[in-house]
Amino acid sequence: MTAEAAAALLPDGAIVTVSSASGLGCPDAVLAAIGQRFDNTGHPRNITSLHPIAAGDMWGIEGIGHIAKQGCLAKVIAGSYPSGPSSAEQPEIWRMIESNEIPAYNVPSGILFDLHREAAAKRPGVLTKIGIDTFADPNRQGCAMNARAAAEPIVKHVRFEGEDWLYFKTIVPNVAIIRATTADERGNLSFEHEGAYLGPIEQALAVRNNGGIVIAQVKRLAKSGTIKPFAVAVPGIFVDVIVVAPEQMQSTQTVYDPAVSGEVFKPLSTFTKPTFDVSKVVARRVAQEMRFGDAVNIGFGISALVPRILIEEDLHGSVTWMIEHGAIGGIPLLDFQFGCSSNAEAIVSSPTNFLYFQGGGFDATLLSFLQIDKEGSVNVSRLAARPHVTAGAGGFVDISSRAKRLVFSGFFSAGAKLGLENGNLIIHKEGKVRKLVNEIEHVSFSGRRAIEQGQNVVYVTERCVMHLTADGVAVVEIAPGVDLQRDILDQSEFKLLVPRTPKLMDPTLFRPESFGLKLRSAE
């Protein structure tokens, strides 16, 4: 069908699940047609949209923005939302959320994928410990992003087999909008030009098993029987409608790069070394936390530089990088291609990786922080003053809730002017916004829960390295050139512990040449 004909199939009041990860895998042509149909006819009205990962972004792929219209969108439940720079005008979906126009929820991405499985199997819901004592917990926000959502709770505490759990009741979608590269004449889908599978099987099954409509946007059509069986990621029996969109982008600002889809492996020499600056110093210190043979999840921010550090230090392959979108191994990509990996060993579905993360089977995770509080809890998911700068939690809660080792990285304060001179960190001007605060705005990671579970938590900044202890956050290393009292202790709203004289951070980190990184053996 045309995108317009497919859009006409959506009934008023539909619950629509959309497969996307910002610009990656976004079925933008179908979403645009739905928005245009509403503009022309006033239908579909009052739809609920489910987005395990954000649909669209602020960099050229509109995604959910096509349907973020009063009367069209009645409710949104998403793992993440379009985000971008604070200087840009906030997307319409954020205006609707902030003005309390529709109930909006931020549910951890892995739990949203779990809910699709429950809908497909016609089970009552998800019992999980993922998200306890975070914003997903009804003792805090219960995933609600505004007052209207708080008035319609979607999660509650229950006792089961003598233990406390979070319970998310199953949500049954009746329309799925997914995306692939190729569809054959029978609707079988393959993903050869995509950077990730994401979760189309779970989303299609949730709809198919409940009598709904599955719409697949693809780049091209092929003759029946020409897609090899093992290349079919979504069988045609799960699909009702094919929409061909030849101009669909592989990802944000990427028309098509065969290295993103694993069709070409790039020489290690082609990966740019990070520029020597303060961010690189932090990434180098994070790299020192790695152990040979680790399976490591990596998130957005400074930590995304660590794979490039290992290439520079001739240690590529010493750890296996993993990202929630599905790539295992290889080199996670940066900027607009984040969520993809080049030279990956395997690309599995997002729900598969989330199961691995939720169960704590991996060795470590490298994540960022916006704020840290006195209990060691971390906020990455919400800043009320600039909501569209943060995308929401995405898979952060699923990844961090049971990780054995966590390394959070970021700058000690926001807006500081920093420099490097003769192997020392120089603070030319102190930041205006403190990031170590008594109480964070949103608990994305619970320090209290981490202590209960025996998780190993490290915070790496340009000024110091800190550890989470049962008594609080302790400074264990300081950067050369930094004054402990003036530059660290006085810049935190809460009292940092200094259990002993902090060690000096490795001075070679602060010099431009290779610092001779040696990984520890896996324990």
CB neighbour burial string for 298-307, b if at least 16 within 10 angstroms, e if fewer: bbbbbbbbbb
Closest CA to 57 of 406, 293, 394: 394
Closest CA to 18 of 222, 234, 206: 206
Indicate which residue of 92, 289, 324, 375 is catalytic: 324
**Are 332 and 298 within 8 A, CB to CB?**
yes
Tell me, what DSSP letter sits at residue 457?
E
Residues sharing a CB contact under 8 Å with residue 431, sequence separation 6 or more, in sequence order: 411, 412, 413, 414, 415, 416, 491
Tell me, what DSSP letter sits at residue 272?
P
CA 175 to chain centre: 24
Closest CA to 94 of 114, 112, 113, 80: 80
Say how many C-beta atoms besides its own lie within 10 A of residue 360's C-beta: 14
Cα 201 to Cα 203: distance, rounded to the nearest angstrom = 5
**Are 185 and 221 within 8 A, CB to CB?**
yes
The type of residue at 190 is S
* Structure token pair of residue 489: 């202790």
CB neighbour burial string for 150-170, b if at least 16 within 10 angstroms, e if fewer: beeebbeeeeeeeeebbbbeb
Written as one string, the DSSP assignment of 53-88 is S-B--SSS--GGGGT--TTTEEEEEES------TTS
Closest CA to 445 of 397, 412, 403: 397
**3-state SS, residue 337:** helix
**Residue that the structure tokens 């935190």 belong to:** 492
CA 162 to chain centre: 32
Say how many C-beta atoms besides its own lie within 10 A of residue 496's C-beta: 18
CA 93 to chain centre: 18
**3-state SS, residue 205:** helix
Please indicate whether residue 324 is annotated as part of the active site. yes
Q: What are phi and psi of 293, to 5 degrees?
A: 90, 0
**Region class of 131: left (phi > 0), else alpha (psi between -120 and 50), else beta:** left
Residues sharing a CB contact under 8 Å with residue 391, sequence separation 6 or more, in sequence order: 22, 54, 80, 81, 82, 83
* Structure token pair of residue 8: 């006409």
* Structure token pair of residue 326: 């599905």
In the chain, how many H helices and how many E strands?
Answer: 11, 33
Cα 312 to Cα 309: distance, rounded to the nearest angstrom = 5
The type of residue at 232 is V
Looking at the annotation, which residues are catalytic? 324
